Amino acid sequence: MITNWWIGDACIGTLELFSCDADIAPPQSLDKVDAPFPEPVHRVAVLAYDMSDLSENDMHQRTSPSGRMYYSAKVTVNISLQSCLEFYVTVKGKKFGSLTISYN
């Protein structure tokens, strides 16, 4: 995902994690999760990330249409199943920041 934040602001945000028993993901966007599907879609958790330790080398500085400068970074949320579920965030393949999970 691409995440953006104003220069001087903390790079924090949240994502929602959903599950579905269907063989393939429902074709609707996440903002339409309450729409009818052949299989029920469930909100599982909220993932809160903090990318404060991300270096400027791993971000892109951009200009908004209003002329205000902001940072942008391509962030990947990883979920690894080993002996337990591990959630972490990567940018350009390197682990950064922190990720906390609040289950519904």
Sequence-separated contacts (24+) of 90-94 with Cβ below 8 Å: 91/51, 91/54, 91/58, 92/58, 94/58
Tell me what pLDDT residue 27 has.
63
Compute CA distances 27 → 38, 81, 86, 89, 91, whole Å.
Answer: 11, 25, 27, 25, 27
Tell me what pLDDT residue 31 has.
55
User: Does a structural domain hold residue 39?
Assistant: no
Quote the number of domains for the chain.
Answer: 1
User: Does a structural domain hold residue 32?
Assistant: no
The two three-digit tokens of residue 90, written as one number? 């990567």
User: Does a structural domain hold residue 35?
Assistant: no
Q: Which domain holds residue 98?
A: 2-14+46-103
Tell me what pLDDT residue 68 has.
94
pLDDT by residue, tens only, the chain of 104 residues: 788 889 888 888 888 888 888 787 766 555 555 556 666 778 888 888 888 888 888 889 999 999 999 999 888 888 777 777 777 788 888 887 778 888 87
Tell me what pLDDT residue 30 has.
53
User: Does a structural domain hold residue 62?
Assistant: yes
